[in-house]
Structure 1
């Protein structure tokens, strides 16, 4: 049949009013010939609405008339590109033709729209679940096919480029991409790296070697139970996340050795910890940085996804007290802390932490300059941020 989108006439004043009720009742009964008979004249004449044309395309597909289903689904899509039924039909038709990659786009749209929608009819509830299952199969099949072809080109998972594997996972839908989203200051042309290679930071050897000494100092502070305070605190005259359960809560608390660029009395109580950081390129911005702290996350606590303030620094974690069941996500990579094994990450990429154990987790955290910045750039960034702060009546801590 001809393309309804380009050839369907506009309804004339003499055309009978369109009554969708008979076709909808037939659709609810699964009477596909009844749906076709009820909706086809109005669809061809341009009197039917998008929902009716979508049902017609669905019925034609169920009757095996894929040419009509294709024509009417194109017509319905032009009228309402978000109609779940027409998206499902388009995905099914493309799958039948072997256009699996294109079909996956439609199934993905069905899942994205359908899983957040409420009040769906039973057929659409089933359709969304089916789209999710098909999408997962398509992604898996495409991924397997790509990996097999890549193996012939020399790709070995686990040994070949980690960056390429990351790109492959994003291309096949295994992982989604995340990008830097600093809340206060963005420095362009810096790599969008989630976790940085450990061998980029040889000075961390000394930090890790001091794990036992740092843990002893931490335990002494914990025993006194006076050095820690809630990490997120209500600030008078500034917006506060009153709905966030960790605001003013000791479930996520810190003991600062350096805070907002100034040494605290706690630093003197932890000389071995401070000595271990003597070679670290700590980020230095007046009234801002460095930040050096013991971060405590109690059993069951969940730090919700968030991003940091500036992308000119990186954050270092050195795990000191880490029970099993403590996980940390940066972008699309999830890791578990291991005592004494440091990592470095970009906190302007969305990240979160959770402690599913029954014990407290404590990590040493400090910030360093990004290694890509030259000495001149570090000086200028510091001057820029300090000047911006001079115009701010209330300085907000870099969380």
Structure 2
């Protein structure tokens, strides 16, 4: 090992052990051997900066930059010296130079945002913070030293977005009043996306994705001629639900039940948990005869709707019971060829439902019809049980010929997976 390498190792070890005086002395020995050693120049510049010797710090850091031009870390350190010296223009140039060398340099992006904020330029600060948040890793992996700055930037971006969303809503208020409820919700969402307080929610299917179908979170009940007849049976269906709750509790099973060894992702807390349970009437296209026999009025009501029949997937129908203080995390369904219907039966205060951008509350006896291929989640923040009847129907935007294509493709896919030889 050369003498230069030996002293470099001594300096690096001393710095890692926070023995700053020893590290500084060792770096000076390195410079005595090689006056252009960039690591030693940088380290001594930072030592001088921490001691408030700004002229000395700037000289050493500029010398380091001359040897290693375009290093964004060195350039950013120079900007910090200029900041302490009160030289705002020079600080800005050094930050710009660090980002010219590396446009996704996260400390440089944050320094740019903080400079704009300090100069009273909130909109420019928000734009810079937004770029920093895009360049940053997911929040659990934020670097500890940068975490406070990223949290501050995130809060500032959120606050700005809320202000912009309110401004857009105010400007569009009178025009929005002329829209129907479906159109008004669409343009409220458009404003939220434009303001950055929401995001587009596409259709994401776990199995069959039908391309070019619009991702509509909630469908209007008036689009379905069977809704009134179904809703008129709410009381009878609820009576049957209460009967099976009293007499066939064993018929309720955990809604989420992954086999051991299966990645469960967001379902870890609910996997094999009765906090979210179901009493199945139809299960992936197969009738559960003993359960249907216990619920004849419910079975009769289901017979009047346009249930989706997709081999191995639909129909599904069940009583879905969500325990108090339970959250069903965001997730997506199997296919956008079908929609899902909720007929609320037992709904205490404090229960809510989100599909994409839209938040709804269940109202007993009033059906909610939605595309479950769009990210959705449910909450029961009450101290009582919530129960809804859930079943599948065809997406009304598909023709009869397209329904047949859905059946054909899903059947063929299952044949290939389970029957065709490797």
Alpha-carbon shift at residue 130 of structure 1 (Å) = 3.0
Alpha-carbon shift at residue 110 of structure 1 (Å) = 3.5
2:18 — aligned with what? none
Residue 263, structure 1, aligned to residue 284, structure 2: no
Pick the aligned partner of 2:36 from 16, 27, 32.
16
Residue 213, structure 1, aligned to residue 213, structure 2: no
What does residue range 1-399 of structure 1 map to in structure 2 within 5 Å? 16-18=36-38, 19-25=41-47, 28=50, 36-43=58-65, 46-47=68-69, 49-61=71-83, 63-93=85-115, 103-111=125-133, 113=136, 115-117=139-141, 120-121=144-145, 124-150=146-172, 154-156=175-177, 161-224=184-247, 225-235=249-259, 239=262, 241=264, 244-265=268-289, 266-393=291-418
Unpaired stretches in structure 1, ≥5 consecutive residues: 1-13, 395-399
Secondary structure of 2:251's match? Answer: coil
Q: Distance in 2 between matches of 1:107 and 1:362?
A: 44
Q: How many residues align?
A: 377
Secondary structure of 2:360's match? Answer: strand
Q: Distance in 1 between matches of 2:352 and 2:381?
A: 8
Of stretches 87-96 and 267-276 in structure 1, the one that deviates more from structure 2 is 87-96
1:118-158: CA deviation from partner (whole Å, max 9, x where unpaired): 5533xx4442343234323432343344445445x834599
1:183-218: CA deviation from partner (whole Å, max 9, x where unpaired): 111111101122223332342222222111110000
Unpaired stretches in structure 2, ≥5 consecutive residues: 1-33
Q: Distance in 1 between matches of 2:264 and 2:324?
A: 22
Q: Distance in 2 between matches of 1:53 and 1:126?
A: 22
TM (norm. structure 2) is 0.78
Over aligned residue pairs, what C-alpha RMSD do you find? 3.1
Q: Which has the larger radius of gyration?
A: 2
- Aligned pair in 2 of structure 1 residues 61, 393: CA closer, same or farther (>3 Å)? same
Alpha-carbon shift at residue 365 of structure 1 (Å) = 0.4
Of stretches 310-319 and 95-104 in structure 1, the one that deviates more from structure 2 is 95-104
TM (norm. structure 1) is 0.82
The answer to whether the 8 A contact 1:311-1:348 is kept is yes
2:13 — aligned with what? none
1:272-306: CA deviation from partner (whole Å, max 9, x where unpaired): 21222333211001232110111112223332222
